[in-house]
Amino acid sequence: MLSGKSLYIFIFFGLSFVTSFPIDLVGRAAFEFDIYDHNIKVENSNPGPGEQPWSKRKDLLIESIRNNTLASPSLVGLQEVLHDQLVDITSGLGGSWKSLGVGRDDGKEAGEYSPILYQDDVWENLNFTTYWLSPTPQVPSKGWDAKFNRIVSVAKFRHRATGAQLHYLNTHFDADGADARLHSAQEVLSIIGNFTDPLPAYLSGDFNSQPTEDAYKTINGTLIDASTEKSLDTGFVETWTGFNNEKQKIIDFTFYQSDHQTTVINHDVLNSNFSGLLISDHRPLLTKFSLNY
């Protein structure tokens, strides 16, 4: 007879052998997926010093998304995306890529989107909502001391091949209003706290908040910052570079919930400078998670 422990080890290796997804000791499967996050910089008809127009930046920017989402099931969160930029990116990616999201100015196509992109043959989108970061989250609105309307895109997905389900939120906090950033952090945590299903939540975006600031500290008090979990393979630490050799900053993050069996496999700040052509004033983030579901 196998003892309890050997039986578990037997089940572990036995099941690992017959499925392509490893099974842990309590019978959950480990599902690995990536989140690619990038503030792509809004299309500017009057580019500043060092800034190339969108027409010159877009091909390499799309290639970076494609390159980094080839190997694993991936969810992509972008910021500062105008409608025509979104059309360029989804059509450039091709295949079954789709986008979720609305323009922040009218809830339709006006103003910047914080869209979520996914491959429809990999993921089933189960739900999607846009909340405005303001005291009136259901309607296009500006909150507190913010300069612009701000939004968070909230999606629920099911990975088709494994059945794994999760929530993914993508956002962009105000650059000017520190009070708005703090309230936005609280609102996003409240949205996550109000989910009625026990699925893990992942949050990425441009928080316009450095690790020393209140908005970051508020989120980091509840969720875990993936960049604190793994060393950075690429050597890049700062996520904002500017276009003109400015002082670089860390303001983009990917967070996850601690209580849902998630581990960070890898977290990288990616290159954005291709022989002097900067695809944006931010570097992309690529985080590989393992979820026991």
Ligand X SMILES: *[C@@H]1O[C@H](CO)[C@@H](O)[C@H](O)[C@H]1NC(C)=O
The angle at the Cα of 16, spanning 11 to 17, to the nearest 5 degrees, equals: 100
Paired tokens of 235: 């050597």
Residues 7-66, interacting with ligand X (CB under 6 A): 60, 63-64
Across 41-80, b (16+ Cβ under 10 Å) vs e yields bebeeeeeeebbebeebbebbbebbeebbeeebbbbbbbb
Which residue, 91 or 127, is less far from ligand X as judged by CB? 127
Does 276 bind ligand X (CB under 6 A)? Our answer is yes
* Residue 228 lies near ligand X (rule: CB under 6 A): yes
Residue 73 CB, nearest approach to ligand X (Å):
19
Burial 244-261 (b: 16+ CB within 10 A, else e): eeeeebbbbbbbbbeebe
Q: Compute the distance between CA of residue 66 and CA of residue 254 in angstroms, rounded to an integer.
A: 19
Stretch that binds ligand X, among 38-46, 91-99, 187-195, 232-240 (CB under 6 A): 187-195
Site string for ligand X, 239-268 (x = CB under 6 A): --x---x-----------------------
Given candidates 211, 238, 249, 261, which one binds ligand X under the rule CB under 6 A?
Answer: 211
CB 239 within 8 A of CB 228: no
Among 190, 232, 233, 258, binds ligand X (CB under 6 A): 190
Which residues in this chain contact ligand X in the complex, by CB under 6 A?
60, 63-64, 67, 127, 129, 137, 156, 187, 190-191, 194, 211, 220, 225, 228, 241, 245, 273, 275-276, 278
